[in-house]
């Protein structure tokens, strides 16, 4: 009976295709980071008259990378339901598929000034996709499939940070009811699932080195949640807004103390996971500095942009050098490429 089952089961995906899909999913962090930094520059454009063209360029880069990686993912079998389901169920990387609709929402919200009606339709598609991916992931996790997996903050992206980003985009598209609904979902699963993840981090064994950079993701939910609240309330600070401020600053202190454990001995593209937390925090702090009327806030905003943009450019340069080195190594193995 067992042998019959194994014969009748469909052929498994070749390891090379699965590895290529995995690489495409992980590299989406570059697109997410680019869009996140574009959002910070967009917030600064209204605060200190920063150049909106820089924000446009960053979103354009994000969109280009997003499309290229999506095409690569589909070309290696990502459009097949069996492969997509397998990728969603992957304990270490399934959550990253939520990058796809989240990046789509960010890009749609930014370029909505060129046509709000079309942007609303595109947003609806990405919103439904993000909700389906998050619900599918959560349903899979609730069946106990993560019982043997070390939980890390990256799992908060689809179920908490995604809804907060959906709320920010809805506010930009003047859909206040949708913004409120998405915000409520983000708060619920941030509190519920965030508590589970923090408990696991405290009581379980330390995260393996490849997963440690995700500790910086702890800052994303309060940062994008705070930005969502400010966006929905016209940039005005109230009691809830100040509450988000307190959580952001406390989490920043926590992440600062964690930095010594996040040292990397060599460069790898997984380091792009750091950029979106930096960009999301910068975005919130730009909004907060003006809402709270911080003294010398223009200097504060430009300093924040300089730090975030410097980190982005440094990592981008390192990625190009790394890619060039890999290309030369492959060319050396295959003389026909010379």
- Give average pLDDT by consecutive 10-residue segment, the chain, 338 residues: 40 57 84 96 90 96 95 82 79 81 96 93 96 88 72 87 96 96 96 88 80 89 97 93 96 92 80 94 95 92 96 93 81 55
* Residue 168 DSSP symbol: H
Q: What are phi and psi of 292, to 5 degrees?
A: -90, 0
Q: Which two tokens stand for residue 220?
A: 């994303």
List C-alpha distances in Å: 126 to 109, 121, 221.
Answer: 11, 9, 19
Q: Which fold has domain 18-142+150-262+272-293?
A: Glycosyltransferase (1.50.10)
Q: What is the per-residue pLDDT for 30?
A: 94
**CB within 8 A of 305, min separation 6: which ones?**
40, 41, 44, 50, 282, 286
pLDDT the model gives residue 112:
94
For residue 326, the model assigns a pLDDT of: 78
Helix (H) or strand (E) holding 300: helix 297-333
* Domain residue spans of the chain: 18-142+150-262+272-293
| CA atoms within 13 A of residue 71's CA, in its CB half-sphere | 6
The confidence score (pLDDT) of residue 9 equals 41
pLDDT for position 18: 65
């Amino acid at each position: 009976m067992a042998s019959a089952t194994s014969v009748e089961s469909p052929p498994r995906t070749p390891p090379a295709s699965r590895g290529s899909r995995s690489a495409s999913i992980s590299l989406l962090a570059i697109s997410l980071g680019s869009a996140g930094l574009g959002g910070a520059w967009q917030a600064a454009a209204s605060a200190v008259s920063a150049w909106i063209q820089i924000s446009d360029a960053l979103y354009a880069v994000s969109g280009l990378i997003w499309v290229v990686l999506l095409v690569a993912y589909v070309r290696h079998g990502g459009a097949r339901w069996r492969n997509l389901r397998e990728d969603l169920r992957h304990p270490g990387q399934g959550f990253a598929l939520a990058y796809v609709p989240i990046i789509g929402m960010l890009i749609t919200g930014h370029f909505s000034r060129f046509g709000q009606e079309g942007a609303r339709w595109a947003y609806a598609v990405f919103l439904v996709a993000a909700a389906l991916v998050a619900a599918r992931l959560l349903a899979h996790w609730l069946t106990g499939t993560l019982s043997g997996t070390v939980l890390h903050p990256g799992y908060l992206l689809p179920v908490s940070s995604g809804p907060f980003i959906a709320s920010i985009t809805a506010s930009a598209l003047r859909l206040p009811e949708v913004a409120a609904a998405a915000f409520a979902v983000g708060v619920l699963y941030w509190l519920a699932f965030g508590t589970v993840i923090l408990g696991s981090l405290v009581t379980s064994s330390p995260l393996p080195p490849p997963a440690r950079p995700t500790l910086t993701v702890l800052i994303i939910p309060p940062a994008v949640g705070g930005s969502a609240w400010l966006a929905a309330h016209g940039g005005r600070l109230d009691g809830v807004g100040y509450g988000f401020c307190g959580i952001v600053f406390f989490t920043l202190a926590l992440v600062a103390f964690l930095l010594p454990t996040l040292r990397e001995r060599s460069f790898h593209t997984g380091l792009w996971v750091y950029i979106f937390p930096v960009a999301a925090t910068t975005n919130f702090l730009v909004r907060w500095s003006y809402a709270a009327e911080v003294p010398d806030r223009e200097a504060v905003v430009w300093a924040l942009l300089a730090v975030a943009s410097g980190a982005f450019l440094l990592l981008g340069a390192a990625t190009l050098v790394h890619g060039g080195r890999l290309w030369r190594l492959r060319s050396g193995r295959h003389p026909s490429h010379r």
